[in-house]
A = this chain, B = another copy of it.
Amino acid sequence: MPYKTRQSASIERLLSENRDRHLTAETLYRLLQDAGERVGQTTVYRHLEKLCAEGRVRKYTLGDAGACYQLAEDGGACRAHYHLKCTRCGKLIHARCDFLDRLSGHIFAEHGFAVDGSKTVLYGLCKDCREREEGDGCSSTPTK
Protein backbone atom coordinates (compact mmCIF):
# COMPACT_ATOMS: atom_id res chain seq x y z
CA MET A 1 0.00 0.00 0.00
CA PRO A 2 1.58 3.26 -1.02
CA TYR A 3 2.38 5.80 1.63
CA LYS A 4 1.30 9.40 1.43
CA THR A 5 4.41 11.49 1.59
CA ARG A 6 5.24 15.15 1.41
CA GLN A 7 7.10 14.54 -1.84
CA SER A 8 4.34 12.74 -3.64
CA ALA A 9 1.89 15.46 -2.60
CA SER A 10 4.21 18.18 -3.92
CA ILE A 11 4.69 16.45 -7.23
CA GLU A 12 1.02 15.86 -7.76
CA ARG A 13 0.20 19.39 -6.79
CA LEU A 14 2.62 20.87 -9.31
CA LEU A 15 1.40 18.53 -12.00
CA SER A 16 -2.11 19.60 -11.21
CA GLU A 17 -1.26 23.29 -11.30
CA ASN A 18 0.36 22.77 -14.68
CA ARG A 19 -2.18 20.45 -16.19
CA ASP A 20 -2.23 22.64 -19.27
CA ARG A 21 1.51 22.37 -19.85
CA HIS A 22 3.97 19.71 -20.82
CA LEU A 23 6.72 19.44 -18.27
CA THR A 24 10.02 17.70 -18.60
CA ALA A 25 11.26 15.80 -15.60
CA GLU A 26 13.88 18.45 -15.14
CA THR A 27 11.42 21.34 -15.37
CA LEU A 28 9.22 19.70 -12.80
CA TYR A 29 12.21 19.18 -10.59
CA ARG A 30 13.18 22.83 -10.86
CA LEU A 31 9.68 24.02 -10.21
CA LEU A 32 9.75 22.02 -7.03
CA GLN A 33 13.04 23.55 -6.00
CA ASP A 34 11.81 27.04 -6.81
CA ALA A 35 8.73 26.40 -4.75
CA GLY A 36 10.95 25.53 -1.86
CA GLU A 37 9.91 21.88 -1.94
CA ARG A 38 12.80 19.61 -1.24
CA VAL A 39 12.36 16.69 -3.57
CA GLY A 40 15.19 14.74 -5.15
CA GLN A 41 15.16 14.25 -8.88
CA THR A 42 15.25 10.52 -8.42
CA THR A 43 11.97 10.82 -6.60
CA VAL A 44 10.55 12.94 -9.40
CA TYR A 45 11.42 10.26 -11.93
CA ARG A 46 10.07 7.51 -9.76
CA HIS A 47 6.76 9.22 -9.23
CA LEU A 48 6.37 10.12 -12.86
CA GLU A 49 7.04 6.55 -13.80
CA LYS A 50 4.50 5.29 -11.32
CA LEU A 51 1.87 7.82 -12.33
CA CYS A 52 2.38 6.85 -15.96
CA ALA A 53 1.94 3.21 -15.12
CA GLU A 54 -1.30 4.12 -13.38
CA GLY A 55 -2.39 6.10 -16.39
CA ARG A 56 -2.76 9.30 -14.39
CA VAL A 57 0.08 10.98 -16.25
CA ARG A 58 0.84 10.87 -19.92
CA LYS A 59 4.36 10.72 -21.21
CA TYR A 60 5.35 12.42 -24.44
CA THR A 61 8.59 11.43 -26.02
CA LEU A 62 8.78 13.95 -28.76
CA GLY A 63 11.94 14.98 -30.39
CA ASP A 64 15.45 14.90 -29.19
CA ALA A 65 15.31 16.39 -25.76
CA GLY A 66 13.91 14.67 -22.71
CA ALA A 67 10.43 13.29 -22.36
CA CYS A 68 7.55 15.52 -21.34
CA TYR A 69 4.86 14.63 -18.87
CA GLN A 70 1.39 15.93 -18.34
CA LEU A 71 -1.44 15.05 -16.06
CA ALA A 72 -3.99 13.05 -17.94
CA GLU A 73 -7.41 14.62 -17.89
CA ASP A 74 -10.18 12.31 -16.85
CA GLY A 75 -11.97 12.90 -20.11
CA GLY A 76 -8.78 12.74 -22.09
CA ALA A 77 -8.63 16.43 -22.92
CA CYS A 78 -5.26 16.12 -24.57
CA ARG A 79 -6.37 13.12 -26.45
CA ALA A 80 -9.07 15.22 -28.00
CA HIS A 81 -6.72 17.55 -29.76
CA TYR A 82 -3.47 17.54 -31.63
CA HIS A 83 -0.11 18.89 -30.80
CA LEU A 84 1.75 21.07 -33.23
CA LYS A 85 5.39 21.48 -32.50
CA CYS A 86 7.47 24.13 -34.17
CA THR A 87 10.72 22.65 -35.36
CA ARG A 88 12.28 26.07 -35.25
CA CYS A 89 11.45 27.56 -31.88
CA GLY A 90 10.20 24.44 -30.12
CA LYS A 91 6.84 25.94 -29.26
CA LEU A 92 4.11 23.41 -28.63
CA ILE A 93 0.62 24.32 -29.72
CA HIS A 94 -2.49 22.51 -28.58
CA ALA A 95 -4.73 22.64 -31.61
CA ARG A 96 -8.36 21.93 -31.14
CA CYS A 97 -11.22 22.25 -33.58
CA ASP A 98 -13.91 20.25 -35.29
CA PHE A 99 -11.78 19.38 -38.24
CA LEU A 100 -9.10 17.89 -36.10
CA ASP A 101 -11.69 16.19 -33.97
CA ARG A 102 -12.78 14.26 -36.99
CA LEU A 103 -9.28 13.37 -38.04
CA SER A 104 -8.86 10.44 -35.69
CA GLY A 105 -12.25 9.12 -36.60
CA HIS A 106 -11.48 9.41 -40.25
CA ILE A 107 -8.17 7.64 -40.06
CA PHE A 108 -9.72 4.96 -37.93
CA ALA A 109 -12.61 4.42 -40.29
CA GLU A 110 -10.84 4.80 -43.61
CA HIS A 111 -7.37 3.58 -42.85
CA GLY A 112 -7.99 1.13 -40.03
CA PHE A 113 -5.48 2.91 -37.90
CA ALA A 114 -6.08 4.06 -34.32
CA VAL A 115 -4.13 7.25 -33.84
CA ASP A 116 -2.81 7.79 -30.37
CA GLY A 117 -3.12 11.51 -29.87
CA SER A 118 -0.92 11.39 -26.83
CA LYS A 119 2.03 10.18 -28.86
CA THR A 120 1.44 12.10 -32.01
CA VAL A 121 2.93 15.45 -32.82
CA LEU A 122 2.63 17.34 -36.05
CA TYR A 123 5.90 19.05 -36.86
CA GLY A 124 6.27 22.19 -38.84
CA LEU A 125 6.76 25.90 -38.53
CA CYS A 126 4.64 28.19 -36.42
CA LYS A 127 3.48 31.48 -37.80
CA ASP A 128 6.24 33.55 -36.27
CA CYS A 129 9.01 31.29 -37.42
CA ARG A 130 7.51 30.88 -40.86
CA GLU A 131 7.63 34.60 -41.43
CA ARG A 132 11.23 34.56 -40.40
CA GLU A 133 12.03 31.68 -42.75
CA GLU A 134 10.60 33.37 -45.78
CA GLY A 135 12.94 34.14 -48.61
CA ASP A 136 15.62 31.70 -47.62
CA GLY A 137 15.09 29.74 -50.80
CA CYS A 138 14.36 26.58 -48.90
CA SER A 139 11.94 24.16 -50.45
CA SER A 140 9.98 23.81 -47.25
CA THR A 141 7.78 26.73 -48.13
CA PRO A 142 4.29 25.35 -48.65
CA THR A 143 3.19 25.45 -52.26
CA LYS A 144 -0.10 26.93 -51.26
Contact = CB atoms under 8 A, between A and B. Distances in A.
B107 A144 contact: no
Contacts of A142: 104, 108, 114
A43 interface: no
A111 to B, nearest CB: 5
A124 B55 CA distance: 13
22 contacts: A55-B139, A61-B61, A61-B63, A61-B64, A64-B67, A76-B143, A93-B113, A95-B107, A99-B103, A99-B106, A103-B103, A105-B144, A114-B130, A114-B140, A115-B122, A115-B124, A116-B123, A116-B124, A116-B125, A116-B140, A120-B121, A120-B124
